[in-house]
Amino acid sequence: MAHTRTPSVCVYCGARPGRDPAYAHEAETLGRTLAEERWRLVYGAGDVGLMGIVARAAQAHGGETFGVIPTHLMNMEVGKRDLTRFVITETMHERKKVMFMNADAVVVLPGGAGTMDEFFEVLTWRQIGLHEKPIFLLNTNGYWNSLLALLDHLIAQGFADSSLKDFLTTCQDVPDLAGALRAALS
Ligand code: AMP
């Protein structure tokens, strides 16, 4: 993939930190890695949960950050105004569009229903040929195993083509993910 600007990695992740401390640890490691690799972080501009952890780590290591948040979440998700670029949108749909359009790759960390919504949107868009951006699932301590099993079930029961999982690269930890991103973004 040829780049005329800094490669950008869109990170979808929980607005909460989750129970296993490994989720926060991996989010912190990812933020630092993005900065060290000179990849721009594109994310939902919140200062809460794993979102805040990734962003603060990227900033602490001199990384470029681009956050997009809708007006009505400015208080709930503590809009992080000190990012390199901070955009406020009117709607959730605009937020997702701006994040996606400014990304070269998508990374999904542990998260809740919001993270899954974002994940399924880019996966289904990929399935119907609307984009070719690579999608990486960070499967910290097997967090996404049940999601992967669900995708297998959809395929086994004939509701999805077996290629569905080909659009997805599952990584066990951040070094594994960084290697896969390096290959995809070079
Ligand atoms: P969660 O994984 O539920 O903690 O949410 C992670 C992020 O996804 C948060 O910034 C939420 O605002 C966002 N989110 C939640 N629901 C949606 C949705 N329907 N579309 C887009 N983003 C969402």
Residue 4: the pLDDT is 56
Query: CB neighbours of 93 closer than 8 A, spacing ≥ 6?
Result: none
For position 107, what pLDDT does the model report? 98
Q: Which of 117, 119, 123 to mutate to test ligand 1, by most ligand atoms within 8 A of the CB atom?
A: 117
Its pTM stands at 0.95
The ligand 1 atom nearest the CA atom of 15: 4
Identify the CA nearest to 70 among candidates 51, 41, 100, 93: 93
Q: Quote the CA–CA distance of 143 and 134 in Å, as a whole number.
A: 20
**Domain span at residue 148?**
19-181
Please state the atom number of ligand 1 nearest to the C-alpha of residue 69.
Answer: 10
Q: Greater confidence, 5 or 7?
A: 7
Q: How many domains does the chain have?
A: 1
Print burial letters for 67-82: b (CB count within 10 Å at least 16), e (below 16): bbbbeebeeebbbbee
Cβ–ligand 1 contact at 59 (below 6 Å): no
Look at residue 151 and tell me if it is in a domain. Answer: yes
* Assigned domain for 130 exists: yes
Residue 1 has pLDDT above 70, yes or no: no
Contact 167, 127 (CB under 8 A): yes
Q: Using DSSP, state whether 114 is helix, strand or coil.
A: helix
Q: Which residues, in sequence order, are bridge partners of residue 132?
A: none
9 in a structural domain: no
**Confidence band of 3 (pLDDT split at 50, 70, 90):** low
* Confidence (pLDDT) at 5: 77
Task: Tell me the mean pLDDT in the region 78-106.
Answer: 97
Cα 122 to ligand 1 centroid, rounded to whole Å: 14
Asked if the structure places residue 37 within a domain, the reply is yes
Average pLDDT of every residue of the chain: 96
Mean pLDDT (whole number) for 73-88: 95
CA distance linking residue 27 with residue 9, whole number of Å: 13
Q: Is residue 54 part of a domain?
A: yes
Q: CB of 47 closer than 6 A to ligand 1?
A: no
> What are 12-68's pLDDT values in tens digits?
999 999 999 999 999 999 999 999 999 999 999 999 999 999 999 999 999 999 999
> Looking at the domain assignment, is residue 3 inside a domain?
no
Residues 133-185: tens digit of each pLDDT: 999 999 999 999 999 999 999 999 999 999 999 999 999 999 999 999 999 99
In this structure, is residue 7 part of a structural domain? Answer: no
Q: Is residue 172 situated within a structural domain?
A: yes
14 lines ligand 1 (CB under 6 A): yes
User: What CATH number corresponds to the domain at position 154?
Assistant: 3.40.50.450
Max distance between CA atoms of the chain, in angstroms, equals 47
Atom 23 of ligand 1, residue of closest alpha carbon: 114
